[in-house]
Amino acid sequence: MRLLFQLFTFVCLLIQTLSAQSVVQSSSVAQSVIQSVAQTTAAVSGSAVATTAAAAAASSGAAVAASNNTSVDSAAANSIAALPTSASYGNSVYAASATFVTPTASKSVSPLYRIDSSENVTFVWSFTNLLVRPTNLTLAAVAPNKVTYTITSLDGTATSATWGLSNVPAASPLMMGMYQVQLYDQRGISASYSPGWLAPVTTLTIAFYSAESYVTPTGSKRYIYKCA
């Protein structure tokens, strides 16, 4: 009888031990599952955040590109050749302009050149707010007597030109004085301001001088003075 009691007690203890181990294993499995779920959730959340951030960046970039129509900031738009030759923009967009980098004038003195067939005048300019590529460009100079000298006709992407005075027509020689330099597109010097299109440029003035002789009005000797 006592043996049966001990055997019964042993069986009960064994059952309790097995039950406890089962609970521990179940708890361990549950923790593993929870950790796995947490990791998966974090990964999904991170992916969603990255996707959202990328979308926001793309949207922001598009907005910046759209707002920069007047300054042509992007690398592709800065290439004049990539611009359309015709387009329409709202009044919030400025007309394009060109600024002469060479020659440059001081506040009181215009660039000065000697009237000589060996003389060359180099012009270099840059564009601002240009959204429509000119089909062609014309560079000209208007003399004090209102005679217009067409220096050259250029491709619309040009940003420089050289005026060789040896090319000035003999029938219309240069005279001393101030010359207004003009740069304009295929629409002409009288083209109206249009958003994104190049407005005619007439801001640069250059001057020409010549070697002049002077003879004294009296006396037998003649003294000749020449400009350097």
Contact 124, 162 (CB under 8 A): no
- 204/124 Cα distance (integer angstroms): 12
pTM above 0.75, yes or no: no
- 88/24 Cα distance (integer angstroms): 75
Does domain 75-209 fall under CATH 2.60.40.10? My reply is yes
| pLDDT, mean over the chain | 75
Q: Please tell me which residue, 169 or 14, carries the higher pLDDT value.
A: 169
Mean per-residue pLDDT for 138-143?
99
> Order of strands across the sheet with 160-164?
97-102, 120-128, 160-164
Please give the pLDDT value at position 52.
Answer: 40
Q: Residue 15 — pLDDT band, cuts 50, 70, 90?
A: low
- 151/147 Cα distance (integer angstroms): 12
